[in-house]
Amino acid sequence: MPPDNTPLTRDRILAAAADVIRRFGPAKATVVDVARALGVSHAAVYRHVATKAELRDLVVGRWVETIMPPLRTIVAEPGPAAKRLRQLFDAMIAVKRRRATDDPELFAAYRTLAVDAQSVVVAHVDELVELTASVIRSGVEEGTFRTADPVSAARAVLVATSRFHHPAHAADWADPALDAAYADVWQLLMDGLRSSSESG
- Position 98: which residue type? R
- Give 18 or 189: the residue with its C-beta nearer to a second copy: 189
- Distance, in Å, from the CA atom of 170 to the CA atom of 111, rounded to the nearest integer, reads 10
Contact by Cβ (8 Å): 139, 193: yes
- Distance, in Å, from the CA atom of 13 to the CA atom of 127, rounded to the nearest integer, reads 25
- Give 2 or 176: the residue with its C-beta nearer to a second copy: 176
- Distance, in Å, from the CA atom of 163 to the CA atom of 96, rounded to the nearest integer, reads 12
Plot region of 41 (φ>0 → left; ψ -120 to 50 → alpha; else → beta): beta
Task: Tell me the closest approach of the beta carbon of residue 117 to a second copy, in angstroms.
Answer: 15
Task: Tell me the closest approach of the beta carbon of residue 112 to a second copy, in angstroms.
Answer: 13
Task: Tell me the closest approach of the beta carbon of residue 82 to a second copy, in angstroms.
Answer: 11
Contact by Cβ (8 Å): 31, 43: no
- Give 30 or 152: the residue with its C-beta nearer to a second copy: 152
- Give 76 or 181: the residue with its C-beta nearer to a second copy: 181
Give the angle 132-70-103 at the CA atoms, nearest 5°: 105
Task: Tell me the closest approach of the beta carbon of residue 181 to a second copy, in angstroms.
Answer: 5
- Give 2 or 200: the residue with its C-beta nearer to a second copy: 200
- Give 20 or 164: the residue with its C-beta nearer to a second copy: 164
Q: Binding residues for a second copy, per CB under 8 A?
A: 152-153, 155-157, 159-163, 166, 168-169, 181, 184-185, 187-198
Write down how long the chain is.
200
Half-sphere exposure of 92 (CA within 13 A, CB side): 30
- Distance, in Å, from the CA atom of 36 to the CA atom of 45, rounded to the nearest integer, reads 10
Task: Tell me the closest approach of the beta carbon of residue 51 to a second copy, in angstroms.
Answer: 25
Task: Tell me the closest approach of the beta carbon of residue 89 to a second copy, in angstroms.
Answer: 13
